[in-house]
Amino acid sequence: MLTTLHKQLLNDYQHNFPLSARPYQDIADALDVTEADVLSALTELNDNNFISRIGPVIPPNHIGVSALVAMSVPEQQLQTVADKISAYPEVNHNYEREHRFNLWFVVIASDTEHLCTVIDAIEQETSYKAMQLPMLDDFFIDLGFKLDLNND
Protein backbone atom coordinates (compact mmCIF):
# COMPACT_ATOMS: atom_id res chain seq x y z
CA MET A 1 0.00 0.00 0.00
CA LEU A 2 1.44 3.35 -1.00
CA THR A 3 1.47 6.06 1.64
CA THR A 4 1.16 9.77 0.92
CA LEU A 5 4.92 10.05 1.32
CA HIS A 6 5.52 7.24 -1.18
CA LYS A 7 3.26 8.97 -3.70
CA GLN A 8 4.96 12.32 -3.19
CA LEU A 9 8.37 10.76 -3.69
CA LEU A 10 7.21 8.94 -6.83
CA ASN A 11 5.59 11.93 -8.46
CA ASP A 12 7.43 15.00 -7.22
CA TYR A 13 11.06 13.89 -7.42
CA GLN A 14 11.40 12.40 -10.89
CA HIS A 15 13.23 15.54 -11.85
CA ASN A 16 14.87 18.38 -9.95
CA PHE A 17 16.18 15.99 -7.33
CA PRO A 18 18.23 18.17 -4.93
CA LEU A 19 21.89 18.52 -5.81
CA SER A 20 22.99 19.40 -2.30
CA ALA A 21 25.05 17.74 0.42
CA ARG A 22 21.94 16.38 2.20
CA PRO A 23 19.39 15.88 -0.58
CA TYR A 24 17.13 13.57 1.43
CA GLN A 25 17.08 16.08 4.28
CA ASP A 26 16.05 18.79 1.79
CA ILE A 27 13.24 16.59 0.53
CA ALA A 28 12.21 15.87 4.11
CA ASP A 29 12.10 19.60 4.88
CA ALA A 30 9.96 20.25 1.81
CA LEU A 31 7.53 17.47 2.75
CA ASP A 32 7.54 18.19 6.47
CA VAL A 33 8.84 14.78 7.50
CA THR A 34 12.23 13.58 8.78
CA GLU A 35 15.22 12.50 6.73
CA ALA A 36 14.84 9.02 8.24
CA ASP A 37 11.23 8.91 6.95
CA VAL A 38 12.42 9.74 3.44
CA LEU A 39 15.24 7.19 3.52
CA SER A 40 12.97 4.41 4.73
CA ALA A 41 10.19 5.29 2.26
CA LEU A 42 12.66 5.18 -0.65
CA THR A 43 14.07 1.89 0.59
CA GLU A 44 10.52 0.49 0.70
CA LEU A 45 9.81 1.68 -2.84
CA ASN A 46 13.02 0.06 -3.95
CA ASP A 47 12.36 -3.20 -2.09
CA ASN A 48 8.87 -3.38 -3.58
CA ASN A 49 10.29 -2.87 -7.05
CA PHE A 50 8.38 0.37 -7.68
CA ILE A 51 11.51 2.32 -8.54
CA SER A 52 14.59 1.18 -10.36
CA ARG A 53 16.96 3.74 -8.87
CA ILE A 54 17.53 7.37 -8.15
CA GLY A 55 19.87 8.81 -10.69
CA PRO A 56 20.46 10.73 -13.87
CA VAL A 57 18.76 10.16 -17.20
CA ILE A 58 21.41 10.70 -19.82
CA PRO A 59 20.26 11.60 -23.33
CA PRO A 60 21.10 9.03 -25.99
CA ASN A 61 24.37 9.22 -27.87
CA HIS A 62 26.11 11.69 -25.58
CA ILE A 63 28.10 9.05 -23.79
CA GLY A 64 28.60 6.11 -26.04
CA VAL A 65 26.30 5.22 -28.92
CA SER A 66 23.06 3.28 -29.10
CA ALA A 67 20.62 1.83 -31.56
CA LEU A 68 17.13 0.45 -31.46
CA VAL A 69 17.07 -2.89 -33.25
CA ALA A 70 14.05 -4.81 -34.55
CA MET A 71 13.85 -8.48 -35.48
CA SER A 72 11.19 -10.69 -36.93
CA VAL A 73 11.33 -14.04 -35.14
CA PRO A 74 8.92 -17.01 -35.38
CA GLU A 75 6.78 -17.15 -32.25
CA GLN A 76 7.97 -20.59 -31.15
CA GLN A 77 11.58 -19.40 -31.15
CA LEU A 78 11.01 -15.99 -29.65
CA GLN A 79 11.83 -16.79 -26.03
CA THR A 80 15.05 -18.61 -26.95
CA VAL A 81 16.23 -15.85 -29.27
CA ALA A 82 15.24 -13.16 -26.75
CA ASP A 83 17.18 -14.91 -23.98
CA LYS A 84 20.28 -15.06 -26.15
CA ILE A 85 20.01 -11.34 -26.87
CA SER A 86 19.28 -10.38 -23.24
CA ALA A 87 22.48 -12.12 -22.20
CA TYR A 88 24.54 -9.39 -23.87
CA PRO A 89 25.46 -6.75 -21.27
CA GLU A 90 25.22 -4.13 -24.05
CA VAL A 91 21.49 -4.84 -24.43
CA ASN A 92 19.40 -2.85 -21.98
CA HIS A 93 15.82 -3.12 -23.22
CA ASN A 94 14.40 -6.17 -24.89
CA TYR A 95 10.67 -6.36 -25.57
CA GLU A 96 8.19 -8.39 -27.49
CA ARG A 97 5.84 -6.19 -29.50
CA GLU A 98 2.67 -7.18 -31.31
CA HIS A 99 3.84 -6.92 -34.90
CA ARG A 100 5.60 -8.85 -37.66
CA PHE A 101 8.72 -7.26 -36.22
CA ASN A 102 8.10 -8.81 -32.83
CA LEU A 103 11.38 -8.38 -30.99
CA TRP A 104 12.70 -4.90 -30.17
CA PHE A 105 15.86 -4.24 -28.26
CA VAL A 106 18.26 -1.41 -27.55
CA VAL A 107 22.03 -1.86 -27.77
CA ILE A 108 24.33 0.61 -26.03
CA ALA A 109 28.05 0.60 -26.70
CA SER A 110 31.14 2.72 -26.19
CA ASP A 111 31.51 3.62 -29.86
CA THR A 112 30.20 2.74 -33.31
CA GLU A 113 32.69 -0.06 -33.80
CA HIS A 114 31.69 -1.71 -30.53
CA LEU A 115 28.01 -1.28 -31.46
CA CYS A 116 28.51 -2.95 -34.85
CA THR A 117 30.47 -5.79 -33.28
CA VAL A 118 27.66 -6.51 -30.84
CA ILE A 119 24.92 -6.37 -33.48
CA ASP A 120 26.96 -8.59 -35.84
CA ALA A 121 27.49 -11.07 -33.01
CA ILE A 122 23.74 -11.10 -32.26
CA GLU A 123 22.91 -11.72 -35.93
CA GLN A 124 25.45 -14.54 -36.09
CA GLU A 125 24.28 -16.16 -32.89
CA THR A 126 20.55 -15.96 -33.61
CA SER A 127 20.65 -16.22 -37.44
CA TYR A 128 18.03 -13.49 -37.71
CA LYS A 129 18.47 -10.20 -39.47
CA ALA A 130 18.75 -7.15 -37.23
CA MET A 131 17.08 -4.01 -38.56
CA GLN A 132 18.99 -1.08 -37.09
CA LEU A 133 17.13 2.09 -36.22
CA PRO A 134 19.54 4.55 -34.63
CA MET A 135 18.14 7.75 -33.20
CA LEU A 136 18.54 10.79 -35.45
CA ASP A 137 16.79 13.37 -33.33
CA ASP A 138 15.23 13.47 -29.88
CA PHE A 139 12.23 15.76 -29.48
CA PHE A 140 11.31 14.79 -25.98
CA ILE A 141 11.94 17.01 -22.98
CA ASP A 142 12.02 14.54 -20.14
CA LEU A 143 10.37 15.84 -17.01
CA GLY A 144 9.45 12.43 -15.69
CA PHE A 145 6.03 10.86 -15.88
CA LYS A 146 2.93 12.00 -14.03
CA LEU A 147 1.58 8.92 -12.26
CA ASP A 148 -2.05 8.70 -11.27
CA LEU A 149 -1.74 6.78 -8.01
CA ASN A 150 -5.19 7.50 -6.62
CA ASN A 151 -6.52 4.01 -7.08
CA ASP A 152 -3.71 2.33 -5.21
Which residue lies nearer to another protein by CB, 17 or 128? 17
Q: Per CB under 8 A, does 73 bind another protein?
A: no
Q: Which residues of 106-132 are buried (b: 16+ CB within 10 A; e: fewer)?
A: bbbbeeeeebeebbeebeeebebebee
Q: Per CB under 8 A, does 76 bind another protein?
A: no
Q: Per CB under 8 A, does 91 bind another protein?
A: yes
Site map 107..126 versus another protein, x via CB under 8 A? -xxxx--x------------
DSSP 3-state assignment of 145? coil
User: Taking the alpha carbons of 105, 111, 112, 117 in that order, is the dihedral positive or negative?
Assistant: negative
Tell me how far, at minimum, the Cβ of 104 lies from another protein, in Å: 7
Which residue lies nearer to another protein by CB, 56 or 127? 56
- Amino acid letter, 107: V
